[in-house]
Amino acid sequence: MKLAKESTSESHMKVLHVFKTYLPDSMGGIQQCILQMSQATAKLGIDNHVLSLSPNPQTGYDPGTHSVTQCKTTLEFASTPVSLEAVSTFRRLAAEADLIHYHFPYPFADLLHFLGQHNKPTLVTYHSDVVKQKYLLKAYQPLMHRFLQSVDRIVATSPNYVVSSQVLQRFRDKVDVVPIGLDPRSYPSVSINNVSKWQRRFGRRFFLFVGVLRYYKGLETLLEAAEHSRLPIVIAGDGPLGESIREKAQQARLHNVHFLGHVSENEKVELLQACYAVVFPSDERSEAFGISLLEGAMHQKPLISCEIGTGTSYVNKLHETGLTVPPKSPLKLAAAMELLWEHEEYAERMGCNAYQRFTELFTAEKMADSYFHIYQTLLNSPETAAAGV
């Protein structure tokens, strides 16, 4: 069902984004990327429309700079929502669009691509390999390879992921790299008093983890590191592992670890401004980029992450913007935290470097310019002209 009106302003092109969930239902890394992308490219005259699924499609949601259509989920299998209604809706929206922009991984979008029977230019932002469903991946691979072969361009979010992904190496001749970018102006402004309240509560210096508490976030490693270092750590966010992680911290009597649960956007910004450093121990390739790291860099904070061959080590450069450690290594994670804690000048320099790297590589404006160029290239290609698009 349609949730927001089409833009009435003149636009150069209409882009249809396709992903399994979107605002207002969820706000993970991919949803944040689509939001930032849609907001930034709207300034370049692009009319963005997002097609997603929802168990309870809502009415009245208007993100302002783009429009959203939600189709009712018919069933969900292996974290993949499916909708019978979406097939006809996709065909209609694809017919109205100039270009289709898929966000991978979402196997049902692969099916929509072929069932939609459109001849529009296509690209895929390849956010992550399929990591968790290893056995189902074998059954899905033929469709996945056919889908990725059929689209016109594939966009990875970091050069690191291109090098380390066997799937992307298979299609290397049509892969571009466009890092995820953020617009600081899209974040709420907060008062210094609200920032100070967190420091009064947790101390002038504390480490901050922000994110959904999922299996690949390395939270068990973080708790073990907390036990070794006894440094103050604030965990903001909730998720599938929330209850078990809190129980483990309680059993280990980790009074230096503070769980806040879900926080608002205002509270998140306050915490990012108040914290000493951002710690991000994700240990699986499901963590393909790490927007929380990017948010830390945007707020001039030194960063700690794990080297997992993904974009996290593109955002966080060792000894330039912070420290990287091997995954699932609590002693080395604790040592990295202690190094930053004991060397404030070094930590401050890393934070300044992180912000400089953010402004050079990771702004929403730079991301929008890169996608706009790719869109134009696809729309002006001889193949597009021959198809009569």
Q: What is the pLDDT of residues 259-272, one digit of tens each?
A: 999 999 999 999 99
Pairing of strands 75-77, 80-82: antiparallel
User: Which pLDDT tens digit goes with each residue over 98-111?
Assistant: 999 999 999 999 99
Reading phi first (left if > 0) and then psi (alpha if -120 to 50, else beta), residue 117 is in: left
Three-class DSSP category at 312: helix
Confidence bin at 12 (pLDDT 50/70/90): confident
**Residues whose CB falls within 8 Å of the CB of residue 51, separated by 6 or more in sequence, listed in order:** 16, 17, 18, 19, 69, 71, 86, 89, 90, 93
**pTM to 2 decimals?**
0.91
Tell me what pLDDT residue 77 has. Answer: 87
Alpha-carbon torsion, ordered 218, 219, 221, 222, to 10 deg: 120
Complete DSSP assignment for 157-225 = S-HHHHHH-HHHHHTGGGEEE----B-GGGSPP--HHHHHHHHHHH-S--EEEES---GGG-HHHHHHH
Tokens of 124: 């895929």
Residue 384: band (very low, low, confident or very high) from pLDDT cuts 50, 70, 90: low
pLDDT digits (tens, 9 = 90+) for 307-336: 999 999 999 999 999 999 999 999 999 999
Residue 219 CA to residue 280 CA, distance in Å, equals 9
- E strands in the chain: 13-18, 46-54, 67-72, 75-77, 80-82, 99-104, 122-126, 153-156, 175-177, 207-210, 233-236, 257-261, 277-280, 303-306, 322-325
Assign 79 a pLDDT band (cuts: 50, 70, 90): confident
Q: Which of 149-158, 241-250, 289-298, 373-382 has the lowest mean pLDDT?
A: 373-382
Please, what is the average pLDDT of the chain?
A: 93
Residue with tokens 């922000």: 210
DSSP one-letter code for 369: H
Helices 192-202 & 265-274 angle (0-180, nearest 10): 70
- Please determine, looking at this structure, whether the domain spanning 13-183+364-387 carries the CATH number 3.30.470.30: no
- Summarize the confidence of residues 282-301 as an average pLDDT: 95
DSSP character at residue 109: H
pLDDT tens-digit profile of 155-192?
999 999 999 999 999 999 999 999 999 999 999 999 99
Predicted pLDDT of residue 26: 84
Q: Averaged over 60-69, what is the pLDDT?
A: 88
Scan for tokens 């259509």, then name that residue: 69
Percentage of residues in the chain having pLDDT higher than 90 = 87
User: Tokens standing for 297?
Assistant: 């860099």
| 184-361 has the same fold as 13-183+364-387 | yes
- Examine the pLDDT at 9 and tell me if it is beyond 60: no
- pLDDT value of position 373: 97
CA distance 135 to 15: 34
Q: Where are the domains of the chain?
A: 13-183+364-387, 184-361
CATH of domain 184-361: 3.40.50.2000
For residue 136, the model assigns a pLDDT of 82
Q: What does the block give as tokens for 138? A: 């074998």
